[in-house]
Amino acid sequence: MRTPLFTLVMLAVAAALYLSFRFVGNDYLFFLGYVVLQYVVIATAWNILGGYCGYVNFGSAGFFAIGVYSTIFFYNIGQAPEEVFPEFLLTPMKWIFPLPLPVLIVLGGVFAGLIGLGMGYLTLRLRGVFFAIATLALAVVLETFIVNWSFVGGSRGAYVIPPENIPVFGPFIQYLFVLMLLLAVASVVAARLIERSRLGIGFATIRDDELAAETSGVPTLRLKLIATVLSGALFGMAGAPFPFYIGYVEPNSAFNLSYAVNAIAMPMIGGTTSWVGPMIGALILSTLQQVVTVTISSAVNLLITGLLLIGFVILAPNGLIGLWHDWTGRRSKS
Amino acid sequence: MQFDLLINAIIAGLMLGAFYAAVTAGISISFGMLDIVNIAHPGFIVLGSYIAYIVNAQFGIDPIVIAILALPVFYAFGALIYGIYFQSFEKRGQDSMRGLAFFFGLLFVTEVGLIVAFGVDYRSVTTSYVGGSVNIGPMEFPLRMLVPAIVSLAMFAALQLFMTRTFIGRAVMAVSQDPQALELMAVDPTRIKRIAFSLSMATCAMAGAFLIVIQPVLPSSGREYIGRVFAVCVLGGLGSLPGTLIAALLIGVIESIVTTFYGPSWAPAVSFGLLLLTLAVRPSGLLGR
Amino acid sequence: MSQIMGQPVTEVVDDDIAAPLLGIDQLGKRFGGFVALDTVDLSVPTGQRLGLIGPNGSGKSTLVNCISGTLQNETGSVRFNGQRVDGMPPHQRARLGLARSFQLPRPFRSMTVAENIRVPLLYTVGARHGVHLTQSELEDRCLEVLSLVALQDKARKSPLDLTQVEMRKLELARAMAAEPKLLIADESMAGLSHSEVEDIVALLIRLNQRGITIIMIEHIMRAVMAFSQRLVVLVSGRKVADGAPEDVIKDKDVVGAYLGT
């Protein structure tokens, strides 16, 4: 399927989803749906670097939190511009602030992408494991800075008060849901486009054999940086609307390990070599998590996620997609 | 006054560093020598802390004695994990990504498993020496730091002796360099790696006991040490035990000084920052060639 | 025959000494305290078939790595097609027209054989100034390169399903697809049967007839002698002989250091 057609199909599916949710008319559904879609973005973001290039990012929570805190930063400026800007800038700034949510999402993406670029530049020359370890470190360094930065709430946390209603969409959560839905569609379309492009082939050569890739003319360092920036930016964009969703953010919730684990577990369980895997993994796993969290407890839900991750990497290294191919392959033979 | 503060910060840092050395010893073996990126290591250390906590609460035995008794259990556990790792990842080759995800999953499952079993409260042990301290002039040595530091150094010395003086120890050092040469000597590299990995896991029992003597422990305590252990390991030049010790003492002292003069909330960034810096500037470590 | 230590016997082979395609000057590389390459000079004119031999650990692979950019030399310089290339990452050298194959084949395992060939077409040929390949041109080039090594029937297979010799051919084909000016074939024949070796030698000579300069690193003397117009011998990181093959193998230093044992 050509990309424009695929985009249209995805948008149609998204529209159908939104309309059917509206038809049910329960805001709780939008709250749940938001989380599931957020994980579609996160899993897709992780997979661009992890699945396509083979570089494991353990610091997903850090990139997500950059988006979260970028929003809080600009929100706080909007709350009290007179404390931030000098007199002569106040009038234009009051015109600009508060920034609309789509702009905040873009800003979150820009910051997370830039941090990804910086870290990638420091560590991507080294073997992949060092990159993985550095990403672990990055999340903690960032958390330490946030804890010590009182403007964004420090360890106390920060409140963001969303407006109750918004024109066209009605309840604010529905607006958030639509934004996340569009972001999810955009990230899946982007991932699919990359996969089939020259860039995606370059990424796959890095995953397969970096040395052979270089000698075949693939500029591996530049490609890895591109992947890190793209992936980081998507994480940041997924995190940017989060303060409005949750209302109160503290470092522990923004840097929660469950983002890092889900970011890895969802693509691994779905299958890492194509855009379908992370999406399927995110849809299945986060829906399951919502159910288990409600019916049993959130700790048990995380335990199940961890065990599923271990089980899949051992027993089904190509994820659900791999199992599906095995199964259809066997059926077509018999 | 400032000078006293500095002296005590350095002393505390050295004791802390000795403890970090014990925490990192296992990583130096698994990551440094065997090239197995066991990021779950700190999680297993916390597991060791909880075992010390349970037995100590039940029978009042000293946590370090408990750790010594638990060594065979952790050794066996290590053999099991290496077995799974070897069968699923190492034998298939070239798939480091899934191996990393495997250990990440283990880290996470250990932490969440402890939360499910014990909740998110701080746990601590009672020993005769926890509150005491030795004072020499203006210098203060709290026993809850000093005892783990001394036992840790002893463990470190024993490991170094084992690695350099015994046949198996030398084989472990050789296995990362040239597994083929080992095979020519009729030594099975897989067996050597299993022994070494089990040994690295056994150090978790000891380090876990030290940890819970030094401070109360949470299921998530392990994560604070991931950056530290890898910072120490990389800074020490991957797989060199003496290098690990020097790097551990260095990071302990720097952290302690930062804590004393800038507040404890900045301490975690020290080792992580150093790790990033080392990776960016000198990935072969302080003593590496 | 006179001693030929360290100096090219120019009258035998060089017909274009003015502008060598590859010019290596005083090249040095150490690993820790170990000297892998010690002030090596080598000048290769366009169109030559050069054999490079030497015992294990003599620095052959290090030399190849320094030329192709997988390792960076510490002293001396590498010039290619009139341009200094030392310090450049491998992919830039590849785009200038420097291709190599690896001793142990390193295919892209998750791709098909044809896709393996597409990579250099996209990233080397496609990245050169003024070259843009359409989808159908890409496909045509892929098949063309594969038929050159008689792998066109395996185009849709995974490289993991290939035999040893097919794997080597894929390795060479991938290097070829980049349309190089210079091809370095690093032990492409180790472990192959008699007829397979002849197959590969014939292939390399065919490529040379298309105008590609080739450096062949090899242990199999039969193949080296059949292929080379000029032979260079490395021992312990130093060039000990350089000249016409039949002269070099008679050289008593070479015989002593290498062939005699």
Q: Could you tell me if residue B131 is inside a domain?
A: no
User: What are the Cα distances from residue B69, in Å, to A36, B59, B66, C124?
Assistant: 46, 14, 5, 61
pLDDT at position B9 over 50: yes
- pLDDT digit string (tens) for B23-68? 999 999 999 888 898 999 999 999 999 999 999 999 989 999 999 9
Which residues of chain B are within 8 Å of residue A54 when distances are taken between CB atoms? 97
CA distance C16 to chain A (A): 28
Q: Give the pLDDT mean for C184-188.
A: 89
pLDDT at position B145 over 60: yes
Q: Could you tell me if residue B288 is inside a domain?
A: no
pLDDT score of C257 = 66
Interface test with A, best of B114, B121, B279 (most A CBs within 10 A): B279
Dihedral sign for Cα atoms in the order B119, B125, B126, B130 = negative
Give the whole-number percent of chain C exceeding pLDDT 70. 90
What are the start-end ranges of the E strands in chain A?
158-159, 165-166, 170-171, 248-249
- pLDDT digit string (tens) for C126-135? 888 777 888 8
Q: Could you tell me if residue A314 is inside a domain?
A: no
pLDDT score of A334 = 54
- pLDDT digit string (tens) for A261-271? 999 999 999 99
Q: Could you tell me if residue A79 is inside a domain?
A: yes
Nearest to B115 by CA among B228, B26, B222, B203: B222
Q: Give the pLDDT mean for A180-192.
A: 96
Q: Could you tell me if residue B171 is inside a domain?
A: yes
Tell me the three state secondary structure of residue C230: strand
Interface test with A, best of C122, C128, C160 (most A CBs within 10 A): C122
Q: Give the pLDDT mean for A69-78.
A: 93
Q: Could you tell me if residue B229 is inside a domain?
A: yes
Q: Give the pLDDT mean for C51-55.
A: 90
pLDDT score of B94 = 57
- pLDDT digit string (tens) for A210-249? 999 999 999 999 999 999 999 999 999 999 999 999 999 9
pLDDT at position C260 over 60: no
Residue C179 contacts by C-beta under 8 Å, 6 or more apart in sequence? C97, C124, C125
Q: Who among C106, C108, C127 is closest to A217 (CB)?
A: C127
pLDDT at position B102 over 60: yes
* pLDDT grade for C36, boundaries at 50, 70 and 90: confident
8 A C-beta contact, residue C101 and residue C174: yes
User: What are the Cα distances from residue A106, in Å, to A241, C39, C62?
Assistant: 10, 55, 48
Which residue shows structure tokens 């609309």? A100
Nearest to B129 by CA among B185, B210, B49, B231: B210
Supply angle C-alpha A15, A21, A24, rounded to 5: 140
pTM as predicted: 0.89
> Does B262 touch chain A if contact means CB atoms closer than 8 Å?
no
pLDDT score of C212 = 93
pLDDT score of C5 = 43
Q: How many CB pairs under 8 A join A and C?
A: 82
**Which chains border B (3 or more CB–CB pairs < 8 Å)?**
A
User: What are the Cα distances from residue B246, in Å, to B29, B233, B243?
Assistant: 16, 10, 5
- pLDDT digit string (tens) for B179-200? 667 776 777 888 889 999 999 9
pLDDT at position B272 over 80: no
Between chains, do A204 and C110 touch, taking CB under 8 Å as contact?
yes
Q: What is the mean pLDDT of chain B?
A: 87
Give the whole-number percent of chain B exceeding pLDDT 70. 95
pLDDT at position B14 over 70: yes
Q: Could you tell me if residue A300 is inside a domain?
A: no
Give the whole-number percent of chain A exceeding pLDDT 90. 60
Q: What is the mean pLDDT of chain C?
A: 85
Please report the residues numbered 200 through 259 in chain B whose beta carbons come closer than 8 angstroms to any beta carbon of chain A.
220, 223-224, 226-227, 230-231, 234
User: What are the Cα distances from residue B169, in Å, to B159, B161, B239?
Assistant: 9, 8, 13
**Which chains border C (3 or more CB–CB pairs < 8 Å)?**
A
- pLDDT digit string (tens) for B70-80? 999 999 999 99
pLDDT score of C16 = 46
Which range marks the domain in which residue A196 is found?
Answer: 3-256
Burial of C35 (0-12, 13-18, 19+ CB in 10 A): middle
CATH number of the domain within which B26 lies: 1.10.3470
Give the whole-number percent of chain A exceeding pLDDT 70. 99
Which residue shows structure tokens 């097919």? C166
Look at chain A and report how many structural domains it folds into: 1
Domains and CATH numbers, chain C: 103-178+195-211 (3.40.50.300)
β partners of residue B80: none
Look at chain B and report how many structural domains it folds into: 1
pLDDT at position C2 over 60: no
Q: Could you tell me if residue B148 is inside a domain?
A: yes
CA dihedral A3→A116→B103→A252, nearest 10 degrees, is -110
Q: Who among A141, A264, A303 is closest to B269 (CB)?
A: A141
Which residue shows structure tokens 């399903």? C161
Between chains, do A303 and B116 touch, taking CB under 8 Å as contact?
yes
Record the tokens describing residue A217, joined without a space: 């003319």
Which range marks the domain in which residue B19 is found?
Answer: 2-125+139-281
Nearest to B268 by CA among B255, B279, B278: B255
User: What are the Cα distances from residue B231, in Å, to B22, B224, B276?
Assistant: 14, 12, 8
Which residues of chain C are within 8 Å of residue A213 when distances are taken between CB atoms? 91, 108, 119
CA distance C242 to chain A (A): 27
8 A C-beta contact, residue B41 and residue B30: yes
CA distance A196 to chain C (A): 12
Q: Give the pLDDT mean for A82-109.
A: 86
**What gap in Å lies between CA B34 and CA B184, rounded to an integer?**
19
Nearest CA in chain A to B87: A314
Between chains, do A213 and C108 touch, taking CB under 8 Å as contact?
yes
Dihedral sign for Cα atoms in the order C177, C178, C182, C186 = negative
Q: Give the pLDDT mean for B11-26.
A: 93
pLDDT score of B289 = 45
ipTM of the modeled complex:
0.87
Q: Could you tell me if residue A316 is inside a domain?
A: no
Q: What is the mean pLDDT of chain A?
A: 90
Which residues of chain A are within 8 Å of residue B115 when distances are taken between CB atoms? 299
User: What are the Cα distances from residue C72, in Å, to C68, C79, C82, C99?
Assistant: 9, 13, 19, 16
β partners of residue C242: C232
pLDDT score of C15 = 45
B35: left (phi over 0), alpha (psi -120 to 50) or beta: left
Q: Give the pLDDT mean for C178-188.
A: 91
- pLDDT digit string (tens) for B208-264? 999 999 999 999 888 888 888 888 888 888 888 899 999 999 999 999 999 888 888
- pLDDT digit string (tens) for C58-105? 888 899 999 999 888 889 999 999 889 988 999 999 999 999 999 889
pLDDT score of B170 = 87
* Residue B185 dihedral angles phi and psi, to the nearest 5°: -85, 15
Cβ-count burial A114-139 (b if 16+ within 10 Å, e if not): ebbbebbebbbeeebbbbbbbbbbbb
* pLDDT grade for B96, boundaries at 50, 70 and 90: confident
Neighbours of C128 (CB within 10 A): 14
Burial of C168 (0-12, 13-18, 19+ CB in 10 A): buried
pLDDT score of C149 = 87
pLDDT at position C165 over 90: no
Please report the residues numbered 176 through 215 in chain C whose beta carbons come closer than 8 angstroms to any beta carbon of chain A.
178
8 A C-beta contact, residue C40 and residue C142: no
Q: Who among A205, A209, A215 is closest to C90 (CB)?
A: A215
Which residues of chain B are within 8 Å of residue A255 when distances are taken between CB atoms? none
